[in-house]
């Protein structure tokens, strides 16, 4: 009734006048007209009133619909504006968090450079290198300690921090970072570290133990934060050790172990090399194995197994597959150069028992029963002693068989193939010297 004031007034007037006319008719004061004329007159007035009421009702209904529509549109606009405001607030929070994280990383890097600058290993910590070891100046590049160079930092892009095979083993209790190398006693070393870590099956060599990183349970550098890892790699209180082996002798051991393993040759060596795979290095390894025909693969396996010379030829022909395998790859490629500069203990495989004792004494482990017993066929031998055969089930006696397997020409060719190792200052290899100890 409030939609149109004029129409509302008209309807009210008609209603009151009709009521008065009806009342007059009942009292007999109809103005002298007949009863039929009065009834027609009243019907007309009621019809006009009904039409007016219907028109007014339709206007009221239309007005209410318009009002509800306008309210709905206004509500939708408000909701959309609210959503946009919330999205903008969320974007602002994300940007603020990213900026805060970047600021924290910059502050962390600044603190790391102040708290843990690279230092020369502390010789006063009972470090007694054997007489034939190189001087400490050859282990550590003193030029890296200059104020103009940036301090050492472990980065998320370092293979030593991201790769399960490249990441070194960390024994935090003994402050040791150990860079293992295949064919340099790595099986026994990992057994020892598992034993020191409390694993009951430390001597097991089943299901990929002790080498499978998913099973051996050893703590790697990648398991720590960047700050902790950088501290381990720079602190003078920590020992960062590696044991190395004469490259020629190590090649012979790899040939006797891997070069005569048909399964290894078929899966790692005699497959299509990335350099020959239509310049597509991203071809999956399973697909690469199918690229060589059965005849070509069989010929490759037979060639590699026939002699050390042929095995070396296969390595040279397939540098990114067989030649890149850790068992035959140059030891200088074990880690990037900035990690080599942090190594402060280099042991020699030809003096394994002596150099291992020097490391154990440095760590305070030499008198431990875990070192002095539990090794050998009866569990009574000391680790790395001549009778301690635990962990050496795949030893091939490479040192004793080298002279019969290698000619002088092949030996010279191998020195050229491993020239990076022989020129490496920290590895400090001078010439192929064969001694008489167990493989």
Residues 6+ apart with CB under 8 A from 42: 18, 21, 22, 25
Record the tokens describing residue 169, joined without a space. 């083993």
The pLDDT of residue 161: 95
Cα–Cα distances (Å) from 245 to 165, 233, 328, in that order, read 19, 23, 12
Contact 321, 314 (CB under 8 A): no
List of E strands, 237-301: 239-244
In Å, the largest CA–CA distance within the chain is 153
The pLDDT of residue 183: 95
* Nearest Cα residue to 230 out of 243, 221, 239: 221
The pLDDT of residue 25: 59
Terminal C-alpha separation, the chain: 109
Characterise 185 by phi-psi region: left (phi > 0), alpha (psi -120 to 50), beta (else): left
Cα–Cα distances (Å) from 11 to 61, 62, 64, 241, 354, in that order, read 17, 19, 20, 106, 120
Sign of the alpha-carbon torsion through 334, 337, 340, 342: negative
Rounded to the nearest 10 degrees, the angle between the axes of helix 247-257 and helix 308-317 is: 100
Enumerate the H helices of 262-344 as residue ranges. 262-264, 285-291, 294-306, 308-317, 337-340
Contact 38, 29 (CB under 8 A): no
CA 205 to chain centre: 27
Positions of the chain with pLDDT lower than 70, given as ranges: 1-12, 14-34, 108-149, 273-292, 387-398, 430-439
Backbone torsions φ then ψ of 276, nearest 5 degrees: -105, 10
Q: What is the arrangement of strands in the sheet containing 176-179, beginning at the earlier edge strand?
A: 169-171, 176-179, 239-244, 345-348
* Nearest Cα residue to 244 out of 422, 24, 387: 422
The pLDDT of residue 280: 52
**Exposure of 131 by Cβ count < 10 A (0-12 exposed, 13-18 middle, 19+ buried)?**
exposed
Characterise 397 by phi-psi region: left (phi > 0), alpha (psi -120 to 50), beta (else): left
Record the tokens describing residue 166, joined without a space. 């490249």
The pLDDT of residue 21: 63
């Amino acid at each position: 009734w409030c939609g149109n004031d004029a129409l509302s007034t008209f309807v009210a007037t008609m209603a009151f006048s009709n009521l008065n006319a009806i009342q007059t008719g009942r009292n007999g004061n109809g103005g002298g007209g007949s009863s039929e004329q009065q009834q027609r007159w009243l019907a007309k007035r009621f019809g006009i009133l009904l039409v007016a009421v219907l028109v007014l009702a339709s206007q009221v209904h239309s007005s209410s619909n318009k009002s509800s529509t306008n309210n709905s549109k206004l509500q939708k606009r408000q909701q959309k504006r609210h959503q946009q405001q919330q999205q903008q607030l969320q974007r602002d929070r994300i940007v603020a968090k990213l900026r805060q994280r970047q600021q924290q990383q910059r502050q962390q890097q600044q603190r790391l450079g102040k708290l843990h600058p690279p230092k020369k290993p502390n010789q006063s910590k009972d470090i007694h290198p054997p007489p034939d070891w190189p001087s400490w100046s050859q282990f550590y590049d003193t030029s890296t300690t200059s104020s103009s160079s940036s301090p050492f930092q472990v980065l998320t892009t370092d293979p030593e921090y991201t790769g399960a095979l490249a990441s070194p083993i960390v024994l935090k209790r003994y402050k040791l970072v150990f860079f293992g190398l295949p064919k340099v006693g790595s099986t026994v070393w990992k057994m020892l570290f598992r034993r020191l870590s409390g694993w009951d099956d430390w001597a097991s060599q089943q299901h990929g133990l002790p080498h499978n990183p998913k099973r051996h349970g050893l703590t790697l550098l990648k398991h720590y934060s960047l700050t902790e890892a950088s501290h381990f790699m720079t602190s003078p209180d920590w020992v960062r050790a590696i044991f190395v082996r004469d490259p020629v002798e190590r090649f012979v051991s790899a040939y006797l172990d891997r070069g005569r393993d048909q399964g290894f040759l078929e899966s790692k060596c005699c497959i299509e090399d990335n350099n020959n795979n239509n310049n597509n290095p991203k071809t999956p390894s399973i697909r690469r194995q199918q690229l060589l025909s059965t005849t070509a693969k069989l010929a490759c396996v037979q060639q590699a197994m026939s002699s050390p010379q042929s095995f070396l030829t296969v390595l040279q022909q397939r540098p990114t597959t067989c030649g890149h395998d850790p068992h035959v790859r140059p030891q200088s490629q074990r880690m990037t150069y900035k990690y080599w500069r942090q190594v402060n203990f280099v042991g020699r495989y030809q003096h394994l028992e002596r150099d291992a004792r020097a490391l154990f004494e440095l760590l305070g482990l030499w008198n431990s029963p875990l070192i002095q017993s539990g090794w050998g066929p009866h569990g009574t031998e000391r680790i790395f002693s001549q009778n301690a055969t635990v962990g050496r089930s795949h030893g091939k006696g490479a040192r004793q068989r080298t002279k019969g397997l290698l000619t002088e020409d092949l030996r010279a060719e191998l020195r050229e193939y491993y020239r990076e190792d022989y020129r490496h200052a920290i590895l400090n290899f001078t010439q192929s010297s064969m001694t008489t100890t167990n493989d």
